[in-house]
Amino acid sequence: MSVAIKENDKLCDIISKEYHLLQMMTRFGISLGVGEKTIKQVCEEAAVDTNTFLAVANYLKSGEDIVDDYIETVSVKSLIDYLENAHVYFLEFQLPAIRRKLLSAIDCSIDNKVAFLILKFFDEYLAEVRKHMAYENSKTFPYVKDLLKGIKATNYDISVYSRGHDAVEKKLQELKNIIIKYYKAGGDDTPLVSVLFDIFTCEADLHQHETVEDYLFVPAVKLLENKVAVNGAVNSEEEPQNVTKDETLSEREKEIVRCIVNGLTNKEVAEKLFISVNTVLTHRKNIARKLSIHSTAGLTIYAIANGIVNLEDVQI
Ligand SMILES: [Fe+2]
Ligand SMILES: [Fe+2]
């Protein structure tokens, strides 16, 4: 597996190896002129959530294998900003630019039926993409923004979106093939080949956009739905203090101890209690500091001795 992009990597070094991340930067609202700054520094200056930036960057670099490493810490709000900006880019910049180039590259005289059909095909495709993205902008994203405020719609959830989410880039593949197979320029092909390159790039870019929605956005929103179902509001996730005044365990810490004693991993504890893995780790650090106990065996003995778990419930 390739080396993960990390927060202390210099952004300019990463971009020179992974130039397609340039588009990702602009969709996060990060401008060029990043100097020698690290990803963390650049994200903080641009008020972008660093973990979400890393999640998308590593997804684009390595694919869905990395999702489990980041999904707990992704900011759904930052992800929506990113996706909304991508929609603007596709609809207001990239696809219209391809249309303009296509128009000047093909023979638009009235008797060239293939050219006419190619343009018609492209316009129908553009209308489909508009419809797809308008649905996300007007239905899915507002639903998730309400979830972030702790409001859960009763007639919609992210699985409805996920089931109906189709691959919007597929038709571009067809268009490419039509041009390659059937269009005869009758002269210099350079302008048309240039358009084809743009269509290839756009197809790959749209594919990545759609899979970021499938593999990062949908699972992150599912976690959010679970949190809202339990807590009513996202911000109610309790962030533990790094330093606690007394040395007794809080109710939340006792819950964590019960989970650890029962053999749950940090990820499983996070899922069970609807908190992030980072929150679990901070709780564990506080528990270890308070009790001066660092092993699971030691915690088990402590939990039994203090009535936090029953001996018969402990899995040994
Ligand atoms: Fe989208
Ligand atoms: Fe989509």
Report the alpha-carbon distance of residue 205 to residue 200 in Å, rounded. Answer: 9
Give me ligand 2 centre to Cα 139, in Å. Answer: 12
- pLDDT, average across residues 15-30: 90
| E strand map for 27-108 | none
**Do 193 and 54 share a structural domain?**
no
Q: Are residues 89 and 183 in the same domain?
A: yes
User: Both 259 and 188 in a single domain?
Assistant: no
Residue span of the structural domain in which 263 resides: 251-313
Q: Do 209 and 297 share a domain, yes or no? A: no
Query: For residue 205, how far is its CA from the centre of ligand 1 (angstroms)?
Result: 11
241 has pLDDT over 50: no
Question: Is 170 found in the same domain as 106?
Answer: yes
User: How large a percentage of the chain has pLDDT more than 90?
Assistant: 39
**Domain match, 188 and 84 both:** yes
Averaged pLDDT, 184-211: 87
Whose atoms come closest to the Cα of 165: which ligand?
A: 2
Is residue 240 included in any domain, yes or no? no
Q: How many domains does the chain have?
A: 3
Instruction: Work out the mean pLDDT of the chain and round it to a whole number.
Output: 85
**Together in a domain, 220 and 261:** no
User: Rounded to the nearest whole angstrom, what is the distance from the C-alpha of residue 209 to the centroid of ligand 2?
Assistant: 7
Q: Which two tokens stand for residue 185?
A: 């320029």
56 and 80 in one domain? no
Side chain identity, residue 5:
I
Rounded Cα distance, 106 and 188, in Å: 11
Q: Which of 170, 204, 235 is the last residue of a domain?
A: 235
pLDDT at 100: 93
Q: 4 lies in a domain?
A: no
Report pLDDT for 92. Answer: 94
For the CA atoms of 268, 274, 275, 281, the dihedral, rounded to the nearest 10 degrees, stands at -20
Using the mean position of ligand 1's atoms as its centre, give its distance from the Cα of residue 12 in Å.
27
Look at residues 52, 70, 88 and tell me which one is the last residue of a structural domain: 70
Between 61 and 312, the higher pLDDT residue = 61
* Domain containing residue 295: CATH number: 1.10.10.10
Domain membership of residue 5 (yes or no) is no
pLDDT the model gives residue 242 = 42
Residue 264 placed within a domain: yes
Same domain, 35 and 126: no
Give the per-residue pLDDT at 93.
94
- Alpha-carbon gap, residue 85 to 94, rounded angstroms: 12
CA of 186 to the centre of ligand 1 (A): 38
**Of the given ranges (114-118, 153-157, 194-198, 292-296), which has the lowest mean pLDDT?**
292-296
Distance 9 CA to ligand 1 centre (A): 28
The neighbour count for residue 118, using CB atoms within 10 Å, is: 21
Give the residue among 150, 304, 162 at the shortest CA–CA distance from 222: 162
What pLDDT band is residue 236 in, cutting at 50, 70 and 90? very low
Residues 6+ apart with CB under 8 A from 40: 7, 8, 50
Question: Does residue 196 form part of some domain?
Answer: yes
What's the pLDDT band for 233 if we cut at 50, 70, 90? Answer: low
With 0-12 / 13-18 / 19 or more C-beta atoms within 10 angstroms meaning exposed / middle / buried, residue 179 is buried
Is residue 242 included in any domain, yes or no?
no
38, 54, 70: which is the final residue of a domain? Answer: 70
State which amino acid sits at residue 254: K
2 found inside a domain: no
**271 and 225 inside one domain:** no
CA of 169 to the centre of ligand 1 (A): 11
Does the pLDDT of residue 235 top 60, yes or no? no
Q: Determine the distance separating the centroid of ligand 2 and the alpha carbon of 140, expressed in angstroms.
A: 10
Q: Are residues 124 and 230 in the same domain?
A: yes
Question: Which pair of structure tokens corresponds to residue 129?
Answer: 């993409």
Query: What are the tens digits of pLDDT across the range 276-291?
Result: 888 888 888 888 878 7
Both 106 and 177 in a single domain? yes
Query: What's the pLDDT at 315?
Result: 64
